[in-house]
Each structure stands twice: as structure tokens, then as C-alpha cells.
Amino acid sequence: MIEALQAMGSVMLDPYLIFLILATTVLGVIIGVLPGLGATTGAALLLPFTLTMEPVHAIAVLATIYVSATFAGSITAILINTPGTPAAAATTFDGYPLAQRGEAGRALGIAVVSSTIGGVFSVIVLCIAAPMLARVAYEFRPPEYFALALFGLSMLASISAGGTVKNLIGGVFGVWLATIGAERATGIERFMFGNYELYEGLGFVPVFIGIFAVSELLMQSEKVNQVIETIKLKAVKLPSQDDYKRIWKTVLRSCGIGTFIGILPAEGATIASMIGYAEARRWSKNKEEFGKGAIEGIAGAEAANNAATGGAMVPTMVLGIPGSGTTAVILVGLMVHGLRPGPYLFTEQVNTVYQIFGAMLLANLMFMVMGLYASKLFARISLVPRQMLWPIVFALAMIGAYSLSSSLLDVWIALIFGVIGFFARRHGFAVAPIAVGLILGEMVESNLQNSLKMFDGEWWLILTQPLAALFLAFAFLGLCGPAIFRWILKRGD
């Protein structure tokens, strides 16, 4: 434990890393306040530019983008009733009405403090829970990893955007994408159509740039002439003593909710914020104020969505199962830098792991300072004309796709998946399940093959492994549980 704390503290002794975290925090806040961009899009855009960095620096940059952009979405949610990120959608319910009453500074103060507490709490849980889970993961073999990957895919059904069936279709499509290329055991070519540049399969980076960044640009092109009305902000005000008395229970509750939701595979900050807001209303003595400017609503949503950031890193780093769309990008960053997620990461590269944790903690403290003293400035960034902003972002996306392997094929892949992501969004499909399916597809296939080798082709013996059977049971309940529950209720009537 002392070694871990020393590794976290070493972040403060690396001036270049501090500079990177500071610069990325500023960039993350800018990305977060620009409606349409978000943590996932920002991380996907930055991913190619981190390939030349040291592994610790690269993952610290991606993690910092994650936490700072998640917070920054609350600024535009409160001031212009437009969440900068999906995770800030619940903040608009009470943040904007409070700002309309002339208390924008108070609303932002509540958001800043709640976000910081949620983020710091989740990093502390991450430091404690990740090594404990890693020790359990040492017992995992191919059957357990196969069942765990299926459980992760089953959790796609409960992602809020889209719907159960559409999310599962997206996940299956992502798994199919993972089969493109030569099959590793036999070398059989699959869906390559004679293009040997696809022999190793689709690159994660250009696919992610396409479905997250390019598709978002195409979606935002429909709003190019939209007029935004901003509420005037004099200064951010820290919560008063009475405010703290009203929100402290809500903040603590949402910290627990957000961290727990984040740890669940394929969940994320958006779901956490909605549940945090709903629970804040459930336990409030002033339910009639919700929707009209209740500070508990702001605190509940913001503490939960920021707590989910640290929680989502737990399955990402320990099990290789992304806890959200943004951690799917971070997972790719880990892999391209040779940091294979899993229990051995916490024994062979423990200093690297805790330096990443330290960077996340420092980023949370930095965005608190920025939120208190620079929200007014950052809010003006949302007024940048889209006609100027989106061409710049598009150019960065194409440069990032090309820079990975200096291949025009990667640029075409990014453009093709940008179009696929655009039409998917237009028809109510979320793109995060595609990304999660692409990552987990290889895990499902390789561990199923290894399991069949272990059991001489008798696949049903997977069910004789207790942990594997438990994960498969969870997957079944995740998919069929709601339908079974409704059937039981009907039978009871």
C-alpha cells in the first residue's frame, strides 16, 4: 500500500505530467461545454495523438479528458439548457430553472462541489476495489472470461439510449466486426474481400473515430444554424452552509450509486446521473421543488455522473470489460501501449496503474478550480459558431485516423463508420454498444475457443465451472429478467 501511495504521489514530481494534466483538463472542459462533443468523442479524437507518449502520460491524458469533460457538461446544462455531454442531461431538470431565477452562480457552485466530491470518492474506491478485484480475477480461466464477456454484452440491454433490442443489435454488430480478418488459430480469411490490409482485423482507433466523432459531426450539421440563448452569469458561488445541510446526504448517496453503476459492465455516467437524480427526488422532503430549481436535483445528478467515471475504470483495468463508451476508448489506449488489462497489470506494472489513479485524482481537483473561477469564460466557448468549429474537428479526426499507421484505408474506415454511426443514431440506435461489442467480440471468440480446447469440444462443461455459471446466470437475468418479472406479475393478477 505504501508503494501504491508513493506511485500516486510521484505524479506531483513529474512537471511534464502535471502540465499534460492541466492542459488536458482545460481541453476536457472545453470539449464538455461544446454541445455535441463529449468525453467519448474527445477521447476518440485524442487517442491517435497519445500514441507517441509514454504509457502513463497517454492513459493519464485520456482519463483526464474523461473526468473533466463529464463535469463540464453541467456548465452548458445550467446556462443554456443544453447538456454538453449526455451525462449532464439530468442536470438541466433543475439547473436551468434555478439559473432562470437569477441563481446561475449558485447552481454552478452546487454542480462543481458535487462533481468534485463524486470524482474524488470514485478514485478512492478505484484505488481500493481494483486491486481486490484483481486478486479475484487471478482465478479466472477461459471459461470464466468467456462468461464474463457474455455478461458484459448482456448489460448493453440496459443502456438508456436507444432501447433493449436496438442496443443488443448494436452489440451483435460490434461482435461481427471483431470477426473481420484472419482467424488466429487457422488463418482462415473472414470478410476481407481480398484486402490484405484487413488481415489483422479492423483497427479500433479509426472505427472509434468514425462512430463517435465523425457521426457526431454529421448529427450536429443539422443544427448548424441553431440559435443559443445564454443566461448571464456574474460569478460562481460556493454552496452556503444551509445548502450543504440540504445536499450532503444526497451527495453521499449519489457517490455510492454512481460508483456502483460505473463498475457494472457497459453502464456509465448517463445512467448513473439519471438514477442519482431519481433517488434524490425520492428521498427529498421538498419533492415539489424538483423541476423548478431544486439544488438536491443538481447535486444528485452531478455527484453520480462524476462518481461513475472512477467506477467505470474498475472493470476496464481489471477485467478488460469497458464500463462505459469512454472507457472503451481508454481500454484501446491501454492495449496499444502494451498495457494489457487484467490482474497481472496490478502486479507487474503497479506503479503505472497508481500513477494513472493519481492523475485522475489531480484532474478532479483541477477541474474544481476551473469550475469555480473560469466557468464564465468556458461558457462563452459554447457560442463559437458551428460553421467554424466542426470543420476543425473533422480535420483533426481525419489526421488522427491517418496518423495511426499512415494508411488511407484507416481514413476510409473512419469515414465509413462515421456514416454507419450517423444512420444508426438517426434511427434510434446508440453507437456505444457497437464499440463495446467490437472490443468484447475478440474476448468472446478467443476464450470460447480455449474453453472448447480445455473440455475437448464439450461446451456444456463450461456450466460446471461455478464462476462461469454465475456470470452466465447474471447474463440470462439481465436479458430475460424484466420479461420474467412482468410475467410473474401478470400471473399474480
If the chain, 493 residues long, is cut into consecutive pieces of 10 residues, what is the mean pLDDT of each piece?
Answer: 68 83 87 75 85 86 87 78 72 82 82 88 84 77 86 70 75 89 80 80 83 80 58 67 85 87 71 81 79 83 86 82 80 84 78 84 82 68 66 80 80 90 86 82 86 86 87 82 73 64
Angle of the 142-154 helix axis to the 164-178 helix axis, nearest 10: 140
Q: Is the dihedral of CA 297, 272, 331, 48 positive or negative?
A: negative
User: In whole angstroms, what is the distance from residue 162 CA to residue 177 CA?
Assistant: 20
Identity of residue 408: L
Conformational region of residue 291, where left means phi above 0, alpha means psi within -120 to 50, and beta covers everything else: left
Residue 101 lies in a domain: yes
DSSP 82: -
What is the Cβ-side half-sphere exposure of residue 266, based on CA atoms within 13 angstroms? 32
- Cα 175 vs. chain centroid, distance in angstroms? 19
Q: Is 258 inside a domain boundary?
A: yes
Scored b (16 or more CB within 10 A) or e, 359-371 reads: bbbbbbebbbebb
186 in a structural domain: no
Beta bridge partners of 182: 189
Tell me the three cell numbers of residue 192.
476481407
339 located within any domain: yes
Amino acid in position 165: V
Is residue 35 one of the residues assigned to a domain? Answer: yes
The answer as to whether 275 is a domain residue is: yes
Q: Is 185 part of a structural domain of the chain?
A: no
Q: Does residue 415 lie in a domain region?
A: no
Counted domains in the chain: 1
- Sequence letter at residue 48: P
**Nearest in space to 78 (alpha carbons), one of 119, 37, 41, 112:** 112
Predicted local confidence at residue 320, as pLDDT:
81
Please give the residue range of the domain that contains residue 220: 2-143+202-406
| pLDDT score recorded for residue 420 | 92
Q: Can you tell me the distance from the alpha carbon of 180 to that of 216, in angstroms, rounded to the nearest whole number?
A: 25
- Whole-number pLDDT of residue 156: 72
Q: What span, in angstroms and rounded, lies between the C-alpha atoms of 445 and 145?
A: 10
DSSP 8-state code for residue 181: E
Identify the CA nearest to 343 among candidates 152, 139, 150.
Answer: 139
SS3 399: helix
